[in-house]
Amino acid sequence: MPEINAKTVKVLADGQVVELPRDVITIRGQFLTWKVNALYYKPAVLKKRGAVSIFSRSSRFRIMSYMASLEWEKCYPALFLTLTYPDLDHIPGTKERNVHRATFWRSLENHIGLHTCGLWRVEWKIRASGVWKGSPYPHFHIMVFSVPWINYLDVNRLWSKAIGYNAYCRTEVRRIKNEKQAGYYTSKYTSKVPDDSLVIASYLSKNPGRHWGILRKDLLPLHPERVSANPECRRLNLARDIALQGRPQINEWGNESFKLLGPLAVVVAGVIFDGTLDEFLE
């Protein structure tokens, strides 16, 4: 019997020896994950999640990964809502903001008569006027999928009711017609990094909480996932060269694993899954 390398093979209960995949490539839309030695890598033990205080680089990457994985043709028509707080006598904390967002979303679904999905982001900006002028204050951006239009007066009424406010508070409704517009709103509002002045730990420690989330995740129209374990070696090498040429690696599982977002991910996946550049391998 040949010598067994515990890192590349596994002995099953019946004595059969099977080889473990050394590379596993996954593509979903425009989001590609390349894991090296995936099946015998032991991830770190997950710890209980603590209070969130800043919009970290990893959190920003996660929301961008979701956006790249969406099957956009099933998202339209879509809307981009901005929900602003009025001058309250306090700064809404995490639990209060969560209640306001959930109440608004439930009322919105009742208004349009169906369940739908979306992405939300809470953003902190320096107040330009009013009681809290000069202080960081939160507001929401929400991307609503599969809804053609909602009158801005209805959005304003539902938000005012959700926060228990009887006077005017500013809200906006913008229609998203195509992926280009969606990308614009995503980069400008949903995934942008806040100013340094808005992530001061001494301030945000009083109002910690998640900076983004998904509404009705089970309805989110994601691309089907394609997985390849130990792809054909020549394709593997060519795809890796294309993926990493002149680009920093995004490491998670080890020095050789990485993730890609955008059109490059599609090109690399085409080499692995569809053999789009096989003629160059002859």
Residue-wise pLDDT tens digits, 163-205: 999 878 899 999 998 877 877 777 676 666 655 444 443 344 4
- Over residues 56-78, mean pLDDT: 87
pLDDT of res. 202:
36
- Over residues 32-48, mean pLDDT: 63
Is residue 6 predicted with pLDDT exceeding 50? no
CA dihedral 155, 158, 163, 169 (to 10 degrees): 40
Domains of the chain by start residue, with CATH: 9-46+224-281 (no CATH), 71-219 (3.40.1310)
Q: CB of 211 within 8 A of CB of 59?
A: yes
pLDDT of res. 40:
47
- Over residues 44-56, mean pLDDT: 55
CA dihedral 98, 101, 106, 109 (to 10 degrees): -150
pLDDT of res. 71:
92
Mean pLDDT estimate for the chain: 81
Is residue 118 predicted with pLDDT exceeding 70? yes
- Over residues 124-129, mean pLDDT: 87
Q: CB of 32 within 8 A of CB of 265?
A: yes
- Over residues 210-216, mean pLDDT: 89
pLDDT of res. 241:
87
pLDDT of res. 189:
67
**How long a stretch of residues is the chain?**
282
Predicted confidence (pLDDT) per residue in 229-273, tens digit: 878 888 888 998 898 887 655 554 455 788 899 999 999 999 999
CA Rg value for the chain: 23
Is residue 213 predicted with pLDDT exceeding 70? yes
